[in-house]
Amino acid sequence: MFLNLLRKIKRRVFNPKPKKKVLKNYFQKTYTQKALLSYITEPFVKGVQYKHTNHNEVVVIAKILDKLNYQVDIIDFDNNNCTVPYHQYKLIIGCGRPLEQAFYEINLQKTCVVLYGTGIHNFTNNQSSLKRVYENYLKTNALMINSARFVEEMWSLQNNFSDAAIVLGNEYVANSFRAYNTRTPFYPIPASFHQVLNFEDIHRNITEAQKHFLWFGSNGLIHKGLDLLLEVFSQRQDIYLHICGANTWEKDFFEVYQGHFNYPNIFNHGFINIHTVEFKNILEKCAFVIFPSTGEGGCASVVTAMGNGGTIPIITQECGLDVENFGIMIEDLSIPSIKNAIETALKLAPSEIQERMEKTYNFVSKVHSVKEYEMNMERHLKKILNKKNA
């Protein structure tokens, strides 16, 4: 044990994590204007991965900046160990620490700053998420903070002093920002998704699939309502819950709900690669994707299930996702409301389920495609820049 400890200390002292760098002039252009994109650099270093839609998003934004004749520098949103000449940039877009630091160094008259909000406002998100954790604590006597999704850094400067903000999600998400800032214009933009399957690729037995519900999420299992679903589905054996993306590193959650995961009608599939046959098989089993989250930015995970299989959404308004007349809304974050939404789903006629699936798929394919995301992003950016330069 002592030798292992010495090895760990040696690795940390002599092999520290490399400092994150700014990707300079990524497209190698000679434009006179410079833009800094503060989000993630991984897709530009390792290529686009399909583990999260933010890979597509950041690549699309970078290409638009290049199209608008900017030299494009890219930095990670959590980078705080680089010296960045913020005053050299005509445009700074993104979120996180670099954006926050920029306000100490730039001339607001000369530099346009655009916040890219990837979820509901930090304060609203934190209050809602921690409230859910406390409600769970009252039931379980376990304070599972790791199963919340809260932001310790509030990013107050970018939330208040940006020239404009483009936020992932719908008007509900935009309004969460407007509640604290009436000066800045906020432009909602629907989340994009990775499409790997066409509706015709999915073959379901509607009568059977009607009894199967998919939770398709990631970190923050209480924030995203998995605890509520486990409670509901463990109380009845005639419906089935399929769980994808629940990370076992939230050890407290899995210890508390270990018994629930053993129920014969609850299936934990772990992380699912959307390019696999397993993903297709799960979609074919489930008619509905259910997600009682307390705060999302357009809920790309749910959109992914909708757009790859026409899976009908059952969601809360806090997901920040418009589901028109094909989805089912959960009225509030409570067990009775979830049960009511499930009952609504179970009472649908097979013909209506088929119709809603087709509407779901067609809507998402049109509104949430990467192409539509790119068009919306470029339109908003041009409007913001034209106003700044007027």
Lookup result for tokens 């009894």: 211
Better pLDDT: 48 or 319: 319
Is residue 82 within 8 A of residue 105, CB to CB? The reply is: no
381 and 338, same structural domain?
A: no
Both tokens assigned to 120: 């509901």
Q: How buried is 21 (Cβ within 10 angstroms: 0-12 exposed, 13-18 middle, 19+ buried)?
A: middle
Residue type (1 letter), 251: K
Assess whether 177 and 268 both reside in one domain.
no
CATH code, 272? 3.40.50.2000
3-state secondary structure of 309: helix
Query: In this structure, are 45 and 169 located in the same domain?
Result: yes
In a shared domain, residues 107 and 237 = no
Number of folded domains that form the chain: 2
Chain centre to alpha carbon of residue 193: 10
Range of the domain at 158: 2-122+150-192+370-389
Residues 292 and 248 in one domain: yes
Residue 94 phi, psi (nearest 5): 135, -140
The 10 Å Cβ neighbour count of residue 88 is 13
Q: What is the pLDDT of residue 19?
A: 58
Residue 364 neighbours by CB under 8 Å, 6+ apart? 193, 303, 306, 307
Residues facing 93 on adjacent strands: 37, 114
Residue 327: inside a domain: yes
**CA 296, 77, 159, 369 torsion: positive or negative?**
negative
Residue 132 lies in a domain: no
Confidence of residue 48 (pLDDT cuts 50, 70, 90): confident
159 in a structural domain: yes
Q: What is the pLDDT of residues 102-122, one digit of tens each?
A: 999 999 999 999 999 999 999
Q: Are residues 220 and 333 in the same domain?
A: yes
Residues 170 and 263 occupy one common structural domain: no
Q: Which residues share a beta bridge with 312?
A: 288
CB contact set of 83 (below 8 Å; sequence gap of 6+): none
pLDDT confidence tier of residue 6, bands split at 50, 70 and 90: very low
Please give the full DSSP string across 346-377, using - where no structure is assigned.
Answer: HTS-HHHHHHHHHHHHHHHHHHSSHHHHHHHH
> What percent of the chain is helix, strand and coil (3-state, nearest 5)?
45, 15, 40
Q: What digits encode the pLDDT tens for the residues 131-172?
A: 999 999 999 999 999 999 999 889 999 999 999 999 999 999
Lowest mean pLDDT among 68-72, 143-147, 151-155, 373-377: 151-155
Q: Are residues 347 and 256 in the same domain?
A: yes
Take residue 281 and report the two structure tokens written for it.
Answer: 């098989």
CATH code assigned at 44: 3.40.50
Using CB atoms within 10 A of its CB, is residue 52 exposed (0-12), middle (13-18) or buried (19+)?
A: middle
| Banded pLDDT at 1 (limits 50, 70, 90) | very low
For the entire predicted model, the pTM comes to 0.93
Tell me what pLDDT residue 296 has. Answer: 97
Residues 342 and 227 in one domain: yes
SS3 388: helix
Instruction: Give whole-number Cα distances, 143 to 39, 60, 78, in Å.
Output: 31, 39, 27
